Structure 1
Amino acid sequence: MGSDGGDQPRLRQLNERVVLAAVRAAGEARVAEIVEQSGLGRTAVEEVLASLVERRWLVEESPAIRGRGRPARSYRFRAEAGYVVGLDIGAYSVRGVLTDLDGRMLASIRRSVTPEAPRARRLEAADEVIAACAADARLAASKVWAVGAGTTGLVDPAGTVVHANAIPDWAGTNLVSHFPHRLVVADNDSQLAALAEQRRGTDATEDMVFLHAGRRTGLALVLDGKLRRGAFGAAADMSALRGVAWEAALQHLHAVVPDDVPTVDKAERAFAAAREGDRAARTAVRKYAHAMAVAAATAIAIVDPKLLVLGGAFSQASDVLLEPLQTELEKLCPRVPEVRASTLGALCVALGAASLALDALDDRLLSPTRGPLPPLAVRSI
């Protein structure tokens, strides 16, 4: 390849990103596989591999010795080099998960707040959760390279909460600017819960309607294997439609629970009573399921998905909620997709936020315009 000396640093940067991306995608790869995936010559690949190992982006694994000849060398991306935290910032709690760069969850922390808590206190709780996640994983906080934040309401591309019904002073909060020393990305909580299901669910599908059921309710769409946010980040947001009474539907559950039970625990108590056969509670669950089905049926009629996933905190009550939801959908839809409960439970938003942060981090790491990759510290913990 003909190039003058001034092009060589640029070429090395391009080759670095190509090789790093190949290893990152494979998890662990042999030299021959990297050559095939990258399209580079073997000599160029081996030079880049040696440089990335020296700077601690990659690790050369000890090859198994089988038969004669030199065993094939393999390399893995050093996922323990850095970490991300995914946040779920809600009206009643701030929850966080910490993962390595391969998405393996190493810590999960929750802090309680109230809907009336001022903005500063909610953001302070987010800071506490990040620090507690790092401490729980025995990491220095500086090892958290990126933060993903999921929150109730409409979030614009700049990370500003444009609209939020559940938290009085939350609209106008810019989540990106609150964490100035880290790469930060933010999105709506239901969107991120659907992203987590698409990435981590038991059977990811090309087309899915995600019904986010908890103390706040939402819908999100995965079409052609991709999360669809819409032009303004409000795809499948039906909260303003008068015919969709899903927020009021929580009152059906709350009404069958004693008044002295805290609001934050009432729905779970109603589900528990229904599980035990309480007639009033089972009726309340059916009424709640009807309201959920009306919204879900609207999305089903538009996109005709293969799968409807019940996710969020209430997915943990799928043993009493899934059957009435299916029954109500059959009344409303000419064709009901497969209906399944998520296995991610209350962690779905935080896990989706971590996935969003990892995507943003990959975009930055693998971009050839970012200059040469710097050496990493000798110790990652």
Structure 2
Amino acid sequence: MSDLGGLRRINELAILTAVRAGTDTLTEVVRETGLARASVGEVTRDLVASGWLSEAAPVVRGRGRPAARYEYRAEAGVLVGADIGAFNLRVAVSDLSGRPLAQTRRFTTPELDARRRLRILDSAIDECLREVGRDRDEVWGAVIGSTGRVGDGRVLLSAAISDWTGVNLSAHLAKLLPGCLVDVGNDSRLAALAEQKLGPGRPESLVLLQAGRRTGLGLVVGGRPHAGFGGVAGDLSRFPALKWEGAMEYLQQSGVAPTTGPTSDPVADTLNAAVEGSPAAIAAVRRYVRMLANTAGAVVSILDPEVLVLGGSLASYGDLILPLLASELELLCLRMPRLEASTLGADCAVLGALCAATEMVDDALIGSGPGPLPVHARPMIST
């Protein structure tokens, strides 16, 4: 790509980003992007002609001619995000701006073989596409998040799922959605991306503590998810001395049920009983939190993040867990980060996959991503 062509695509992305954020008139786009009015006018006309933007009904703002308005054609294609864990498989479909349109969840088990798990993934993707009236060839980008160590589109190591190590998720996705941009990432890292993009404040540094049936860490450094040199930053599964992998046993084996009635989930029973004030349940939760704090305190002391986010399925119990976690961390850390419970909860990884898919398509637009836009999307892009 020539320097001129690269600059034009950067200008296209800047204008698309501005319009997508709600800046809809030519004057506002000029002010928002800092580009020359003549350049904005020329590029905007080309983006309308190529299908990325559409002209909206003009509005009268004061005296003079009504200002022309533009809208981002986020409906031109769709994106797919997926989160594959041992016990749950989540899939979501969004428009090109990352706005979720449909979502589904399937319950699985760690013992489920890889072939059946992939069939469930395919079925969930098709279900979401049908719900929004789209076909597979209308998907421009798809990102899968998976538990375990992930690299080069494969699951390199999975302790949570027995028949998952070695599965080539990228190849499977490329076969299911031919011509589509695809990527595969670690679920905790994608969850951290969602917290940074969709959570409050968009902090420059963040530690996401995934708390659920399995624990995990997602790191954000400098406003971006941090993977490390080899893509394993935040993976502490080989440090048994931290004892956080087995921390859930304190909740699973407490034998405490709430007075409102037990459920089929012993973890929920213990947490609900603790909310009701049961001393035995609160003691079990304290032991669980103490194990989490051993790991979280070490990571917080190394990174000194602005925010520590409690994520995963236990984020909904933030009012119970965060005060206990704060009291433990205050004994371990020289400076306490701000503690927050995720508002995204158990959906954070699948929403992070949609965020990553949005970025992937945007990067392809300006030629800096892993590949060009899908063949069926290229005719819409000005040259």
Normalising by structure 2, we get a TM-score of 0.88
Mapping 1:81-160, distance limit 5 Å: 81-156=76-151, 158-160=152-154
- Which position in structure 1 is the counterpart of 2:16? 24
Q: Which runs of 5+ in 1 are unaligned?
A: 1-6, 377-381
- Segments of 5+ residues of structure 2 without an aligned counterpart are none
Whether the aligned pair in 1 keeps the contact of 2:15 and 2:40 (CA below 8 Å) is no
Using the aligned pairs only, state the percent identity. Answer: 41
Checking the alignment, whether the CA contact within 8 Å between 2:250 and 2:285 is kept in structure 1 is yes
Q: 2-side partners of 1:210 and 1:308: how far apart?
A: 6
Query: C-alpha separation between the residues in 1 aligned to 2:144 and 2:94?
Result: 14
Deviations 1:190-222 (A, max 9, x none): 111111000000222111111111111111211
Corresponding residue pairs, total: 364
For residues 42-71 of structure 1, give each alpha carbon's deviation from its aligned partner in whole angstroms, at most 9, with x where no partner exists.
Answer: 1x5434433322332111122211343323
Partner letter of residue 82 of structure 2? L
Partner of residue 3, structure 1:
none
2:188 is equivalent to residue 167 of structure 1? no
Q: Contact 2:256 / 2:281 at 8 angstroms: preserved in 1?
A: no
Query: What residue identity is the alignment partner of 2:162?
Result: P
- 1:257-286 deviation per Cα after TM superposition (whole angstroms, max 9, x unaligned): 489975xx3322221121122222211111
1:312 counterpart = 2:312: yes
- The aligned residue for residue 182 of structure 2 is 184
Q: 2:138 is aligned with what amino acid?
A: K
Question: Following the alignment from structure 1 to structure 2, what is the Cα–Cα distance between the partners of residues 11 and 207?
Answer: 33
CA–CA distance in structure 1, aligned partners of residues 314 and 290 of structure 2: 15
Q: Could you tell me which residue of structure 2 aligns to residue 271 of structure 1?
A: 271
Instruction: Give the secondary-structure state (helix, strand or coil) at the position aligned to 1:247.
Output: coil
Map of 1:49 onto structure 2 = 44
1:74-123 residue CA offsets vs partner (Å, 9 max, x unmatched): 32321111111211100011111221111211111001111100001111
Equivalent residue for 1:374, pick from 369, 375, 379: 379
Q: CA 1:12 to 1:46, structure 2 compared with 1: closer, same or farther past 3 Å?
A: farther
The residue matched to 2:268 in structure 1 has which SS?
Answer: helix
- Over 3 Å counting, the alpha-carbon distance change for 1:297 and 1:11 in structure 2 is closer
Question: Does 2:242 align with 1:244?
Answer: yes
Aligned-pair RMSD on alpha carbons? Answer: 2.5
State the match for 1:215 in structure 2. Answer: 213
Q: Kindly indicate whether the alpha-carbon contact (under 8 Å) linking 1:22 and 1:34 is maintained by their aligned counterparts in 2.
A: no
Aligned equivalent of 2:193:
195
Q: Is the 8 A contact 2:114 2:163 kept in 1?
A: yes
1:60 paired residue number: 55
2 CA distance for matches of 1:261 and 1:251? 17
Q: Is the 8 A contact 1:98 1:106 kept in 2?
A: yes
Once residues 11 and 206 of structure 1 are traced to their aligned partners in structure 2, the CA distance between those partners, rounded to angstroms, is 31
Matched, 1:75 2:70: yes
Q: Distance in 2 between matches of 1:19 and 1:228?
A: 28
Report the more deviating stretch, 27-36 or 140-149.
27-36
Give the aligned partner of residue 301 of structure 1. Answer: 301
1:4 corresponds in structure 2 to none
Indicate conservation of the 8 Å contact 1:148/1:184, yes or no: yes
How far is 1:317 from its partner? 1.2
TM-score, reference length from structure 1:
0.88
Question: In 2 relative to 1, CA 272–57 (structure 1 residues): closer, same or farther, beyond 3 Å?
Answer: same
Provide the secondary structure at the position in 2 that maps to 1:149.
Answer: strand
AA matched with 1:296: A
Match of 2:327 in 1: 327
Gap change, CA 1:190 and 1:50, over 3 Å in 2: same
Matches of 2:269 and 2:132 in 1, distance apart? 32
